[in-house]
Amino acid sequence: MHIKINNGINECDVYLIGTAHVSGESINEVERAISNINPDLIAVELDKDRFFAITNNNVGKMKNNGKNNIDILKLIKEGNIGIFLIHTILANFQKDIGEKFGIKPGSEMKKAVDLAIEYGKPISLIDRPINITLKRALKSMSFKEKLSFLFGIFDDKNNPELDEKSLNEMINNAEDLIKILKEMSPSIYKVLVDERDKFMAKNIFEISKEKEKILAVVGAGHLKGIANYLKKLEKNEIDINLKELMEIKKGKNYFKIIFSAIVLCIILYGFYSISSNPEALKKLTIDWIFINGSLSALGAILARGKIPSIISAFLAAPITSLIPVIGAGYVAGLVELKYRGITSEDIDELFNSDDLKRLMNNNIIRVLMVATLSSIGSAIGTFYFVPGFLHLFW
């Protein structure tokens, strides 16, 4: 795709190449474009970390130093399990597809970087850091969307077989796939696609100043969005603030704390309101323990946790639900970590697994899944009682 833009200083020809990160044809297209266009600068859909990962073989470094790079306890304590899981699963899913075609994920980006170095062309990294994108995505997703994603991992229907023909068809019909994503989850579309379209368009617009020809290698799904925002920037119809797109807003955390406190007050009031009726209090207490504990334990079972972890989830959930500073998932995750243990082989496999199902059997993933699903089960158990307790206020 070719766009001529006036950036206020000069006119620049911007060539956008849409690729798939595991397609051999994409590699060939990048090579042809650089040879034919001879751009002044080559921009790639990478951030600093991904750039070093594909150029310096950081996977190998992780493999050798994995124990220093993965602090499971810290992940559980700081609540960063979701980001780690999503990043790992998506990376391995992409790698799994690449293995089928004998292509390393990101090979077309590496080809663009290699050729830029070979021809002495400047390189620009135009994408937003992946950790920022994932954090913003998780914060924007509803509870239902998070559950759908989590359980969708285990559904084989969501992992169709791909061949070279179908992969190339996906590139050619990227707009249709983006529309489907937008309909399925507007919040995920906004963060993973639209915000990154803005981020990359703004970077391209800025680096186009005092350049005659730029070649930008991006995912096929970003072509239309980037082109649209480039035209809007040219006409001053939009102001894109990169700093705002990099922010991880803390406001929702305060809302979460306040919301949790309100729920806790409702539950405590519910128990207090029937304290004068021993039989009713006894029944409510038993129901609370059984339902909250059982759902948390069910989460640990679905994650295929060990028996001590399942028991811990059952025992901890009714108590931790009344103590906002600690969750049932934290307790169950620590017990699972103790009894399962993490070996150097688990760390090696995590970063080098070539099979998604095998990845889900990895001890690191299993520990994190136990922590996540037991927390979700406990949360469902807690909210189960809220409607009944609310009636006590009227």
Per residue in 80-120, pLDDT (tens digit) is 555 565 555 555 545 554 444 444 556 788 888 999 999 99
Decide if pLDDT at 232 tops 70: yes
pLDDT at 223 exceeding the cut of 80: yes
DSSP state of 270: H
Cβ-contact 42, 112 below 8 angstroms: yes
Reduced to 3 states, what is the DSSP secondary structure of residue 216? strand
Percent of the chain topping pLDDT 70: 63
Which range, of 96-105, 228-237, 255-264, averages the lowest pLDDT?
A: 96-105
User: CA 238, 242, 247: angle at the middle one, nearest 5?
Assistant: 125
- Using CB atoms within 10 Å of the CB of residue 77, give its burial: 0 to 12 exposed, 13 to 18 middle, 19+ buried: middle
What are the φ and ψ backbone dihedral angles of 38, each rounded to 5 degrees? 50, 65
pLDDT(9) > 70:
yes
Is the model's pLDDT at 60 over the cut of 60? Answer: no
Report the alpha-carbon distance of residue 352 to residue 346 in Å, rounded. 10
Across all residues in the chain, what is the average pLDDT? 76
Q: What is the pLDDT averaged over residues 259-264?
A: 67
The whole-number pLDDT of residue 97 equals: 45
d(CA 81, CA 375): 11
Once rounded to an integer, what is the mean pLDDT over residues 167-191?
Answer: 63
Neighbours of 363 (CB within 10 A): 19
Instruction: Report the C-alpha gap between 81 and 72 in whole angstroms.
Output: 9
Q: Is 162 helix (H, G, I), strand (E, B) or coil?
A: coil
Average pLDDT over residues 358-370: 78
Residues forming a β-bridge with 2: 15
φ, ψ for residue 65, nearest 5 deg: -115, 25
DSSP label at 154?
A: T
At 196, is the pLDDT very low, low, confident or very high (cuts 50, 70, 90)? very high
Q: Is the pTM of this model over 0.85?
A: no
- Which residues have C-beta within 8 Å of that of residue 96, sequence separation ≥ 6? 354, 355, 356
Reduce the DSSP state of residue 123 to 3 states and report it: strand
Mean pLDDT of the 245-269 span: 68
- Report pLDDT for 388: 64
Higher pLDDT: 57 or 371? It is 371
